[in-house]
Amino acid sequence: MKKKVLAALFAALMACSLMAGCGGASSAPAATEEKTEEVTEEAQTKEEETGAEEAQSDAAATETAAEETAPAAEAEEVELQVFIAASLNTCMQEVAAKYNEEHPNVKIVYNADSSGKLLTQIEEGYTCDVFFSAAQKQMNTLEEDGLIVEGTRADVVNNQVVVIKRKDTESAVTGLETLGKASSIAMADGSVPVGRYTRTALMNLGILPQVEDASVYTTAEVSDALGGVEISEQGNVSQVLTAVAEGSCEVGTTYYSDTYGYEDQIDVLETVSYDLTGNVIYPVCQVVNDEATDSQKAAAADFVSFITSDTAKAIFDSYYFDTNLQ
């Protein structure tokens, strides 16, 4: 009996030991599961945070890119009043088109006429942002008047005076020395640069008496010096060219650059030497315009710089101007 009791107690103790062992084994996986869930949640949280940071970074990059492209898209529209010698009218259309490829917001409005008339308009208060003259005389006057923005004046091209006739006509005229043999001459007045250069050449040939400023000679005085030949006075070089091309006058004096595009209508009888006319320099400048906005002033300065650039010079060369200034 005593052995049976001991055996029962021993069996009970073994059972408890086994139960305790089973209890310990069953609690370990539960703890591991909890730890795994914590690690997973932590990784997920970090992934979400990283994703948010990347999203913010992408958003910031997009915003920066938008800010960088915004100024070009939202560039302020400006309009420039550009006064140019009539002989520049054709080539300056191409210059403006080229400039607008990079500056589409700048509208360039040309006023093309004789440099003398343009100078008078500026002095009278006409709105002008840029002046491109066919002679130094008008530019000198503008500078004396204090109307040139300091540091913007520059010489751009040279040109040459030519004697022309209509292609399908006969003429005894071969150049300036034989102008008196013409039945009629188209010639600009002395206030127009080409008219002054023509008179200077006639002085250097001995046909007109020497004076300090050849522009003082009236058309009537030039006619008398040439033996009374009929002279049709023109307001600018373009009008001279038209008068000859249409047959209104037998011959005329204009610039070589103005014959561009008229090769099938007119003949050049003489390209007058610089020894007779002196250099025919075309200067440009930014004009003082107190009413202009800061954007207009900046655009005017930039356009003047473009006119003196190699890109613009290539255009001038193609229109028979000489850009190799000494």
Q: Which residue has the higher pLDDT, 14 or 141?
A: 141
Into how many domains does the chain fold?
A: 2
pLDDT class for 324, splitting at 50, 70, 90?
A: confident
Residues 151 and 299 in one domain: yes
CATH number at residue 211: 3.40.190.10
Dihedral sign for Cα atoms in the order 256, 261, 262, 267:
positive
pLDDT at 240 over 80: yes
**Structural tokens at position 196:** 């002054």
Q: For 148, which DSSP code? A: B
Domain, as residue range, for 209: 161-271
Sign of the CA dihedral with 261 first, then 118, 287, and 139 last: positive
State the pLDDT confidence band at 325, using cuts at 50, 70 and 90. confident
Q: Helix 294-307 to helix 89-102 angle, to the nearest 10 degrees?
A: 120
Element (H, E) at 157: strand 154-159
- % of the chain exceeding 70 in pLDDT: 77
What type of residue sits at position 99?
Y
Q: What is the pLDDT of residue 85?
A: 96
Given a contact cutoff of 8 angstroms between Cβ atoms, the answer to whether 160 and 274 are in contact is yes
How far is residue 282's CA from residue 197's CA, in Å, rounded to a whole number?
13
Asked if residues 166 and 231 have their Cβ atoms less than 8 Å apart, the reply is no
Q: Based on the domain organization, do 165 and 235 belong to the same domain?
A: yes
- pLDDT digit string, tens, across residues 79-119: 999 999 999 999 999 999 999 999 999 999 999 999 999 99
Q: Which residues contact 42 (CB under 8 A, 6 or more apart)?
A: none
pLDDT at residue 246, rounded to an integer: 96
SS3 106: strand
Residue 26 lies in a domain: no
Phi, psi angle pair for 322, to nearest 5°: -105, 115
Give the model's pLDDT for residue 318: 97
In a domain, 5, yes or no: no
Asked whether residue 73 is domain-assigned, the answer is: no
Q: Which regions of the chain does DSSP assign to beta strands (E)?
A: 78-85, 106-113, 130-132, 154-159, 161-166, 184-188, 230-234, 251-255, 266-271, 280-286
Q: What is the pLDDT of residue 71?
A: 45
Q: Same domain for 153 and 298?
A: yes
Same domain? For 247 and 225 the reply is yes
Q: What digits encode the pLDDT tens for the residues 265-274? A: 999 999 999 9
Lowest model confidence (mean pLDDT) among 53-57, 129-133, 234-238? 53-57
Sequence-separated (6 or more) residues with CB below 8 Å from residue 224: none
Please check whether residue 24 lies inside any domain of the structure. Answer: no
SS3 47: helix
The answer to whether residues 122 and 150 belong to one domain is: yes
Has residue 105 been placed in a domain?
yes
Q: Is the pLDDT of residue 227 over 90?
A: yes
Sequence letter at residue 162? V
Instruction: Compute the chain's Rg from CA coordinates.
Output: 43
- Band of the pLDDT at 288, cuts 50, 70, 90? very high
How many angstroms separate the CA atoms of 111 and 107, rounded? 13
Element (H, E) at 4: helix 2-73
Give the mean pLDDT of 147-157: 98
Stronger pLDDT, 278 or 48, i.e. the higher one: 278
Partners of 308 in the β-ladder: none
- Higher pLDDT: 150 or 28? It is 150
Say whether pLDDT at 46 is over 90: no
Q: Indicate if 246 and 220 belong to the same structural domain.
A: yes
- pLDDT of 75: 78
Same domain, 127 and 212: no
pTM of the model: 0.73
Let me know whether 195 and 247 are in one domain. yes
pLDDT score recorded for residue 305 = 98
Residue 185: count of CB within 10 angstroms of its CB = 28
Q: State residue 32's pLDDT score.
A: 45
Q: Regarding predicted confidence, which is higher, 32 or 281?
A: 281
